[in-house]
Structure 1
Amino acid sequence: MLSRNLLKQILSFILVLGATSFAGVVYSQDSSKTGNTTDSKIRNIDGVAAVVNTGYVTRKEIDDRIIALQKQGVKLPDADNLRKLVLERLIIEKIQLQNAEQEGIVVTNKELEKIIGDIAAKNKLSYAEFKARIIATGMTFERYKQTLREDIILSRYRERAVEAKIKISDAEVDNFISERMRAMVGGGEQRSASPAKGGSEEIDVAQIFIPVDTGAGASIQAEAKKQAEALLRDAKGDVDFLQLGAAAAKANPKIKFQDLGYRSPDRLPQLFYEAIRNTGGGQVANAVVKSPAGYHVLKVLDRRVISAAPAQQAGSQESIPTTPQNIPITQTMSRHILLKNRAGLTDQDAERRLQGYRDQVRAKTADFAELAKKYSEDGSAPNGGNLGWMGPGDLVPEFEQAMNRLQIGEVSNPVKSEFGWHLIQVLERREAQLTVEKQREFARAAIRERKFEQAYQDWIRELRDTATVKILNAEDAANAALR
């Protein structure tokens, strides 16, 4: 569940939404007016906010989506900008659904029923109990099924379309593996130094990221930039950068912070490398970086040179393998208790609950595995939270970094990731071999991850630019008669 694999993340997101009330798609129109084609008559279609190719988005859809966001306890912009942002998101979704239909992407009734059954089981409910819980939220079960069906279709279409745009050559994989091998066997690391001529440099970069949705209005963009610039000013002071990021994320859960780890320049996003090209170790980038996904505050934690071994400097290349070979790695067996992100559970509540479980384990008044079986919201719960043997890159960065800092038997403080809040305990560690085949799988996954965000943003812009969209009376809420 903690794999970086995109499909697993999408399915995890669907499972989280499956137990909550979220916006459905309801089409409302005045049938006596749909035949009119002039702008003035189109504007009189009751409830239509935008015409999208051959379909449309209603004001009721906007209202429903806003209500769903409010129920989730998400920090929202002002009402006017929120409606514009939600409308733009619905337009993008409408375009994707239309294209998916044209490409024949469908979810059959039998398949949908199986998925709902799996969601119910994940929430430890029978099908009937899960149906009753959905109805109790005020949503009809048929509407829930239609919304879930569309979510799955959107996920499959996005995965197919974006994956098709990502091209990874064998040469890229070979170069990625070669860099890792040179880094591991080259030796002679020098910290906080500039690379010598012909030397190979690695840079440890951390970021605080403020996301901005595609199509966000100027005021939302300006507010995000203002917030990023304020964080940049704070980061230039005498503060711990990651602690600053953690505090910002606690105040606004949409903000992300992470240590990217040591990467060669070609493994960093080009925007990042250009911003920190001349920034020394321990220094913050001079300016906020704007990407298609939002605003980034960057700090170079360290720079190091992977210098050649003495034999190489004398002209010998024998110390660096020229053919792929197995690489020794450390694998860790750990277990965890997961509290998923969901409506009604604040970060403070999740952190407090997990801290209580940690205190019980440390005081030996409770067993970690039993607590995981009882309280964890992950598929590993029946196994006491045990995740099995995991190697580098198998887990999301926040989880892996926290796990690697633990001694055997030690229990972490609560850790936040994209999936929710975790309490982690390390059980064992062992040395293993990363085979050449696994190295190539890892290299492809890492390269794909690096390319995915840019490919996704390019794809969204392409969809929007090629669609025929006409915004109508989107600012007003739906009429009382439509509710």
Structure 2
Amino acid sequence: MKIKLSDCLRPLLLGAVFLGSAVQAEIQSLNRVVAIVDNDVIMQSQLDARAREVQQTIAKRGAQLPPTEVLNQQVLERLIVENLQLQIGDRSGIRITDEELNQAMASIAQRNNLTLEQFSAALQRDGLSYNDAREQIRREMVISRVRQRRVGERIQVTDQEVKNFLASDLGKMQLSEEFRLANILIPLPEGASPEAIQAAARKVSEVYDQLRSGADFAQSAISHSASENALEGGEIGWRKAGQLPPPLDGLISALAPGEITEPIRTPNGFMIIKLLEKRGGSSVVSDEVHVRHILIKPNEIRSETETRRLAERLYERIVSGEDFAELAKNYSEDPGSALNGGDLNWIDPSTLVPEFRDVMAKTSSGELSKPFKSQYGWHVLEVLGRRATDNSEKFREQQAMNALRNRKYDEELQAWLRQIRDEAYVEIKL
């Protein structure tokens, strides 16, 4: 049987694929260094394993595979960035304890209805040792914590920004519209030469012309985009109007679902955005709820069933007395609340998706909900209190602060990843 390793990790991180012994032997015989990354290396076997995993994911979506050379370049770039984050974690003293790893491995075994001994035997049959599995989980947990720390500390929202946002038309309409988006990014290094800028502009124009002629956006993202979400077809999920930086806010608002923007120059390069869906907000209601939650999302190596089981396991750990906030910091995949222990603060129920709003309405103050599913993934929530809607200036400022922080998170993540990539010594030997 196939065992999925990842159970607590951000959707951008892909785990190692399990290989049969014959395939594993073949890879080992061809193993060589394909990239030097600062003080570490990436091996051919790592690239082959990750590429095979991505190929399986693309095939499940029914999309056409890009040429092998293009796919390998995309996968290698992701491995390079992940490797840099692991090195940062090591230098920063981020350590995953044996106890945390043991809990993770026990949780995976339990979700597969196996004892640890049976789990180890199943891994051996799939060509991976128990220790290798522990190491893969450790790596992914380190990357998750590095991002939480480094990106979170870069986000600063000033009082003046809050005031400007509240006074803007965009701030006034932030509850009215929400967009599901995908993007294609043609990158530019910091301080790019005029020749490099012209080359990037030509490439993004070619991609734009292909899209206008009917090319599939997701396939084009896989083949051409340098964004972190390229291998997911460029999809970045739902964003409120208030989360979009200028000039994207105005451009996206003017699109109909299915339409794309013209190429846009951004600090990280040239970008094309596609509006996949649009939905309107609800009117303000009279009640407000203080709630915190843990969000777990399915991803390339964690199935829907495994995601649900992880949410159930976290629910059981909270019921058994473990700290909700600590589990949210370590496991939640909601970037806007994870660092705050999952706390969404006082929130207007009308701004939430129906599934979350309905469960929250049925949960009494001080109680924990059982795991439930929304369009974002699987949640466990706890209602901390209820009160009448607060229309005070302080409440409006807090809403603006949350919107601005969420808007900046994606920008800061991409900028930080591009920065560590540009500053690193990387020698590709592929």
CA distance in 2, matches of 1:269, 1:134: 46
Cα 1:179/1:94, change in 2 over 3 Å? same
1:24-423 equivalent positions in 2, closer than 5 A: 47-72=32-57, 73=60, 75=63, 76-123=65-112, 125-173=114-162, 204=177, 206-210=179-183, 225=208, 228-229=211-212, 254=233, 256=235, 260=239, 263=242, 267-273=243-249, 275=251, 279=254, 287=262, 289=264, 292=268, 295-298=272-275, 328-329=286-287, 340-341=298-299, 377=309, 379=311, 400=353, 417-419=375-377
Aligned to 1:471: 428
| Amino acid paired to 1:108 | T
Q: Secondary structure at the match of 1:106?
A: coil
- Determine which of 407, 410, 423 is the counterpart of 1:450: 407
Aligned to 2:332: none
Cα offset for 1:449? 1.4
CA distance in 2, matches of 1:88, 1:81: 11
CA distance in 2, matches of 1:142, 1:67: 22
Q: Deviations over 1:252-310 (max 9, x none)?
A: 963548675564xxx53213135368x59999676355765953124997999xxxxxx
| Amino acid paired to 1:454 | E
Cα offset for 1:145? 0.9
| Amino acid paired to 2:377 | F
CA distance in 1, matches of 2:117, 2:203: 42
Q: Deviations over 1:177-197 (max 9, x none)?
A: 7889x959xxxxxxxxxxxxx
- TM-score, normalising length from structure 1? 0.52
Structure 2 residue 8 is matched with structure 1 residue 11: yes
Question: Does the 8 A contact of 1:81 with 1:220 survive in 2?
Answer: no
Question: Does the 8 A contact of 2:34 with 2:428 survive in 1?
Answer: yes
Q: Deviations over 1:43-74 (max 9, x none)?
A: xx971112222221111211111122234446
Q: Deviations over 1:68-121 (max 9, x none)?
A: 223444644220011111111111122222222122112122321122223444
Cα 1:120/1:445, change in 2 over 3 Å? farther
Cα 1:281/1:459, change in 2 over 3 Å? closer
Question: Does the 8 A contact of 2:47 with 2:75 survive in 1?
Answer: yes
Question: Does the 8 A contact of 2:256 with 2:275 survive in 1?
Answer: no
Cα 1:418/1:102, change in 2 over 3 Å? same
CA distance in 1, matches of 2:277, 2:14: 37
Aligned to 2:330: none
Question: Does the 8 A contact of 1:269 with 1:450 survive in 2?
Answer: yes
Question: Does the 8 A contact of 2:258 with 2:277 survive in 1?
Answer: yes
Cα 1:276/1:117, change in 2 over 3 Å? closer
CA distance in 2, matches of 1:108, 1:87: 29
Cα 1:122/1:328, change in 2 over 3 Å? farther
Structure 2 residue 417 is matched with structure 1 residue 460: yes
CA distance in 2, matches of 1:202, 1:126: 48
Q: Secondary structure at the match of 1:209?
A: strand
Cα offset for 1:228? 4.7
Percent identity between matched residues is 22
Aligned to 1:33: none
| Amino acid paired to 1:329 | D
CA distance in 2, matches of 1:393, 1:134: 46
| Amino acid paired to 1:417 | Q
Question: Does the 8 A contact of 1:96 with 1:157 survive in 2?
Answer: yes
Q: Secondary structure at the match of 1:11?
A: coil
Cα 1:258/1:228, change in 2 over 3 Å? farther
RMSD: 5.8
CA distance in 1, matches of 2:297, 2:85: 32
Cα 1:272/1:393, change in 2 over 3 Å? farther
Compare CA radii of gyration and give the structure with the larger one. 1
Q: Secondary structure at the match of 2:42?
A: strand
Aligned to 2:221: none
Cα 1:452/1:55, change in 2 over 3 Å? same
